Structure 1
Amino acid sequence: MAKGRIYGVALGPGDPDLITLKALKVLQAADVIYYPTTINSKGESNSMAMRVLKHQAIDLKKALPVEVAMKYKRAAVTKTYKKLAADSIELSQQGKQVAIVSEGDISFYSTFAYLIDDFNKANVDYEMIPGVPAFILAGALSASPICTQTDEVLVMPDVESEEQLKTKIASTETVVLMKVSKVKEWIAEFLASIEVDFFYGEYMGTDKEFTTRNIYQLKGRRIPYFSIIIIKAKHKEQ
């Protein structure tokens, strides 16, 4: 029996053209492709990953959805991850090539990270295929560098308070704020109250893309889960 393997495959930030050649080759050769999907309040399925997959030269009959709850408390999806890991391990032990896809980069706040312990315990082969993180796309869309020379960049997946964010901005050249929806109640007013330049992006690389540097466009906007802000203090510009 041929030896199976599990691949964590990054799809990039949403633009189908930003998937890597290596990722595409792995997906084309895979026997099974697991992709994340969510179910909205109307019972409709939504998958950023499938938006990318359907534009590739891939047989989508081998693509299987994995319903993942988009909740910040990770205990809500532990059972889902355990089942995904167990199913992937079983298939790989049968000699199958299994691909588990994720938006962005596979090692950067990715679902795949929650599966690795189970793969190691089962002593199965796995490989991680990197991709373009969303904040790198944001930098490109902003038409300005995220950092230059000796600039420090801080990526924050969570913010405890306005004061914490203000402190981080004061001590770092560039702050990348992920999951902006967690602070949607105060982030626009906060940015307006301090001296910074910012770039906001949501659903970047998709047909729902919206970006702005205008604080008035950000105020009152319904900020979704897939959103990012790049913040630069004006006094640190060169």
Structure 2
Amino acid sequence: MSGKVFGVALGPGDPELITVKALNCLKKAEKIYYPATQTSKGNQDSFSLVILKQLDVEECKFVPITVPMSKDRSHAEKAYADLFLKVQQDVKEGKQVAVVSEGDISFFSTFAYLLDDFKANSIDFDMIPGVPAFILGGSAGRLPLVTQNDKLLVAPDLENKEELKSLLEQNQTVVLMKISKVRDWIKDFIAESKLQFFYGEYLGTEKQFTCTDMDNLKDRKIPYFAIIIFYGNK
């Protein structure tokens, strides 16, 4: 059998939200590469591994892709280059391998950084989609993300209140992800704007927390795995 690579989406955290196709692929794969973060203290942290361990998949297949926590993107780029070489060798040996990512495989995914190399080297691959966190957020918030002709924007790492205000004037719904840069001012913006919003962190996991009012959010420390959905120009 010829080797092949599968980009497999794990969903937002709830193991029941992985697709049947994705789970079947992981069961058949001979290796499963998953993203992990190396902290400054040398510890390894992986949201993907937490999901994988809840699935009916052999743990002996799991191989970490370790990326140090750093603003210097060269560290991440080296990790992706090393991963490509490992996957390329697996394919040459005829292996069926999976590279997983939480959420959807084409949405802020590690797999995206491998696509150009796969195409340039004629490596056969498929991508299996999944549920991203903001889609789960729409359901958890019990409100539609969009209806009829509404516009929805997903925005990471905004710089300031003015940028967010401008986006909300142009779109009916704005989803904030990777919100580490907005932690210092986002609560003030919510209080000032008085817009309807949904806040969710660690969605789909046992640590899930959600709220739709400032009283429950104002004293809360916002983690990396959090999203905010604003329902603006409706």
Whether TM-score is above 0.5 comes out as yes
What RMSD, in angstroms, separates the aligned Cα atoms of the two structures? 1.4
Match of 2:46 in 1: 47
**Is the Cα–Cα contact under 8 Å of residues 181 and 227 in structure 1 kept in the other structure?**
no
Match of 1:151 in 2: 150
Identity value in percent: 50
Match of 1:63 in 2: 62
Match of 1:127 in 2: 126
CA spacing shift, 1:144–1:19, aligned 2, 3 Å: same
Deviant stretches of 4+, over 4 Å:
70-73
**Is the Cα–Cα contact under 8 Å of residues 40 and 69 in structure 2 kept in the other structure?**
no
CA spacing shift, 1:72–1:145, aligned 2, 3 Å: farther
- State the AA in 2 paired with 1:160: E
**What's the TM-score once normalised by structure 2's chain length?**
0.95
1:68 partner SS: strand
Match of 1:226 in 2: 225
Cα drift, residue 73 of structure 1: 5.0
**What's the TM-score once normalised by structure 1's chain length?**
0.94
Render the CA deviation track for 1:70-129: whole Å, top value 9, x for unaligned: 555533300000000110011011100010000000011111110111111111101100
Match of 1:138 in 2: 137
**Alignment partners' CA distance in 2, 1:55 and 1:135:** 22
**Is the Cα–Cα contact under 8 Å of residues 159 and 181 in structure 2 kept in the other structure?**
no
1:182 partner SS: helix
Cα drift, residue 69 of structure 1: 3.3
Count matched residues. 234
**Alignment partners' CA distance in 1, 2:72 and 2:150:** 33
- State the AA in 1 paired with 2:90: L
Cα drift, residue 171 of structure 1: 1.6
**Alignment partners' CA distance in 1, 2:72 and 2:190:** 27
1:115 partner SS: helix
- State the AA in 1 paired with 2:113: Y
Match of 1:174 in 2: 173
Whether 1:106 and 2:105 are equivalent positions in the alignment is: yes
Cα drift, residue 44 of structure 1: 3.1
Match of 1:184 in 2: 183
**Alignment partners' CA distance in 2, 1:156 and 1:135:** 11
Match of 2:203 in 1: 204
**Alignment partners' CA distance in 1, 2:109 and 2:133:** 12
Cα drift, residue 30 of structure 1: 0.5
1:14 partner SS: coil
